[in-house]
Amino acid sequence: MLERIFEDITEATSGIRTIEDSSVVISQMARRFGLEHAAYLAVNIPRIGRQTPFYSATYSDEWCQHYQHQNYVEIDPVVRAGLKGILPVDWADFNLGTAKVRKLFGEAGEAGLGNQGLTFPIHGRGGETAMFSLNAKMGREEWTRFKKQHMGEFQLFAFHLHTKVVEAEGGVDVDFEARLSNRERECLRWAATGKTTWETSVILKISERAVRFYLDSARSKLDCLTKTQAVAKAVALGIVHIS
């Protein structure tokens, strides 16, 4: 059932034709996964004419207006992690030591945002920076199980969403698939299905060292910092398919 939900969301994301279409997909994703809210922010998208960041979220207009009026963007650790970080971050890891930040999160809770959250930084080939965040109302143990079960899916969604938004904006079109060798694509495909380097080496009849080499080479060619990011990007771009 959960796999079917993710397939539906991925299909909907593939249907994005205008940048505004992303708002519908984000709302659908949040609803189907039982989240309180989800948000996407991209700055300096590589398109002539767009000077302002693109922002789409399921938050209420009242909260967005209050957030802007209070200039919370200057102190929000979610924004800082999303636009300057590299790896996904749990909101529980943020430092809430200042009174202003505690006030921000307190008011966010009153406005209906969930007490648990995740933020996924996205760094694009065209020099653009983006982030995807989600939040839910859950206890710590439930949230830990939820993250473990869906972290990979949300990371795939974040990359896929950003790719489609950039395409809709007429952004830089890089033929990443042409960069990869057949072996690199094969190793990415098996990694995407959850195979270990040893299992992939057995399937492809090559050494584990060779598998690690091809995955590292693919990671570099896809402009990613980790193997997980490379696999997510390859799936989002349709370079590899999970059957």
Regarding whether 157 and 190 lie in a shared domain, the answer is no
Full-model pTM: 0.70
> 77 and 116: one domain?
yes
pLDDT mean over 152-175: 77
pLDDT of residue 240: 86
How many domains is the chain partitioned into structurally? 2
**C-alpha to C-alpha distances, 17 to 12, 20, 22, 26, 169, nearest whole angstrom:** 11, 8, 9, 14, 9
Q: What is the DSSP string of 95-126?
A: ---SHHHHHHHHHHHHTT--SEEEEEEEE-TT
- Write out pLDDT tens, residues 45-57: 765 455 567 889 9
* Out of 48-62, 68-82, 103-117, 197-211, least confident range: 48-62
CA distances from 178 to 86, 133, 221, 222, 228 (A): 25, 31, 10, 11, 20
Averaged confidence pLDDT in the chain: 86
Q: Is 181 found in the same domain as 125?
A: no
For the segment 14-69, what is each residue's pLDDT rounded down to a tens digit? 777 777 788 888 999 999 899 999 999 988 776 545 556 788 999 999 999 999 99
User: In b/e form, how buried is each residue of 11-38, taking b as 16+ CB within 10 angstroms?
Assistant: eebeebeebebbeebbebbbeebebbbb
Give the structural domain span for 76.
Answer: 2-168
Give the whole-number percent of the chain exceeding pLDDT 90: 47
Q: Are residues 164 and 181 in the same domain?
A: no
Same domain, 212 and 158: no
**Looking at the structure, do residues 164 and 183 belong to the same domain, yes or no?**
no
The region of weakest confidence among 78-92, 105-119, 229-243 is: 229-243
**Residue 190 sits in the same domain as residue 135:** no
What's residue 185's pLDDT?
A: 92
Domain termination site, one of 150, 168, 186: 168
